[in-house]
Amino acid sequence: MTTDATGTGVTEQALASLRGTADPRLRELLTGLVRHLHDFARETRLTQEEWERAIAFLTSTGRACTDTRQEFILLSDVLGLSMLVETVNGHRAAGATESTVLGPFHMTESPVRALGDDIDLVGGGARCVVSGRVRSADGTPLPGAVVDVWQADDKGYYDVQQPGVQPAGNGRGLFTADSEGRFWFRTCVPAAYPIPTDGPVGGLLRATGRHPYRPAHIHFIAAAEGHTPVTTHIFVAGGDYLDSDAVFAVKQSLVQDFTATDDPSLAREFGVENPFRHARFDLVLERTA
């Protein structure tokens, strides 16, 4: 009786057990997963102790998840998987806004706000106006488009990270574009920040000698009838970590100037003190097929 030292027999049995899966896409996904996992174990000669440590790590990752924290998304982010999924699914029409990762902090519903509202409820940092237009890739404005916004404060924290310090909904807003597809809101210039490092993902970063920082940015999800929604960021030009984002999410088209603006009439129009910072960013959506 011969011994299957490489475990190929086990792999074939595991793959055969999936052949009756009724959903063809589920069958394809599970078959690929099993094949690659088994090949990984063979290639690296995974030990029993290493396998047990991996199971313990995944268990602790699950236990770190709460209503306001998604450690598995954070793990996916730092391994580059979130950005890879965005990339392989993010082929868009020429000129459409590029997508990037959702991130782990889109955990609460953004409060509905009127155009021009201030989403910085704390009042810290450099004052800023963000304005733009939601339009189709052919240039047609998209009135009534919905723009979901969330960001860290000027110290690099999201509201869900500081309950009792920041009011719920700070740095968040759900806006409806006007009849010309325009949107605008007031806020503070966000700061670069470290992703949470007090859980298993932080331990992984330390073990691999990686820093946890993300460059300063504001998140957006834009949606309009007859168009494919886009999840994206704008990154603050000239900031730190643009070349070493901990979650690999920076795309050059999304790096935007937060321009120092000295214009009293424009400041009055936007309802901010002069001078202020102004970021202009159009959200360009692709029509659905």
pLDDT in tens, 186-195: 999 999 999 9
According to the model, what pLDDT value does residue 190 have?
96
CB 185 within 8 A of CB 117: yes
Answer yes or no: is 1 within a domain: no
Are 196 and 172 contained in the same domain? Answer: yes
As for how many domains the chain has, the answer is 2
Q: Which of 191, 197, 223, 212 is nearest to 110 (CA)?
A: 223
Residues of the chain with pLDDT under 50: 1
Backbone angles phi, psi at 154, to 5 degrees: -75, -5
According to the model, what pLDDT value does residue 142 have?
98
pTM for the complete prediction? 0.88
According to the model, what pLDDT value does residue 1 have?
39
Answer yes or no: is 204 within a domain: yes
Are 213 and 101 contained in the same domain? Answer: yes
Range of the domain at 60: 7-82
- How far is CA 109 from each of CA 48, 126, 159, 170, 171, rounded to the nearest angstrom? 43, 25, 12, 11, 12
Are 26 and 78 contained in the same domain? Answer: yes
**Residue 99 is part of a domain; what is its CATH number?**
2.60.130.10
